[in-house]
Amino acid sequence: QVQLQESGPGLVKPSQTLSLTCTVSGGSISSGDYYWSWIRQPPGKGLEWIGYIYYSGSTYYNPSLKSRVTISVDTSKNQFSLKLSSVTAADTAVYYCARVLLLSHGMDVWGQGTTVTVSS
Amino acid sequence: QSALTQPASVSGSPGQSITISCTGTSSDVGSYNLVSWYQQHPGKAPKLMIYEGSKRPSGVSNRFSGSKSGNTASLTISGLQAEDEADYYCCSYAGSSTYVVFGGGTKLTVL
């Protein structure tokens, strides 16, 4: 059974870069049947899609975040990562990683989420 | 402001049926049969309930069903149970420049 686990700093200073990693266990990130995604949820608000990556390294980003986002994959470690630059308080959120069904775009396995606060 | 429009809240009594709507445009919901629905309990990660508009993942109760008409997708929950009380989000593929859009979420209260 595939499981995803987010990790990274819980506190980031304004203007710095937020960096998170999602570790996939119980399955291979190199399976061609899935995308791997980051989604976030500000406190008390709804879900916002950040982007996808395919195991080959192809990336797809939310146009509103594209200038600040980089998603990468490390197949040797079965991990994928998120970098969000020039953060502000508006980037404070719970960040989730998820597995995405390739053809249907349904996000069928989620990590538990990690809270990132942007504050000096 | 979310790309897909959902009612902020719906409610129903145990045993009743409720429907949550999700209105998009001809660029997302209307163009693709790729709407998914997620259930989120407080403090928990979202859970996939419906994908490709009407398909249920293994393990999801058949009390949950999805449909679409034009630019509006719907999630129906029949035989409401107390455990169904949660936030529900719709999500749609939106083409090769926007890719994915979420609705703002609907809080379901079981009275």
Residues of chain A with pLDDT under 70: none
Residue B23 is predicted with a pLDDT of: 98
Residue B58 is predicted with a pLDDT of: 96
The β-bridge relationship of strands A59-61 and A114-118 is unpaired
Cα–Cα distance for residue pair A15/A85, rounded to 1 Å: 7
Residue B3 is predicted with a pLDDT of: 86
In the three-class reduction of DSSP (H, G, I as helix; E, B as strand; rest coil), residue A90 is classed as: helix
- Enumerate residues 9 to 38 of chain A having a beta carbon within 8 A of any beta carbon in chain B: none
Closest residue to A46, CB basis, from B48, B51, B89: B89
Closest residue to A108, CB basis, from B2, B48, B102: B48
A52 at the B interface (CB within 8 A)? yes
Contact A5, A96 (CB under 8 A): no
pLDDT digits (tens, 9 = 90+) for B53-107: 999 999 999 999 999 999 999 999 999 999 999 999 999 999 988 899 999 999 9
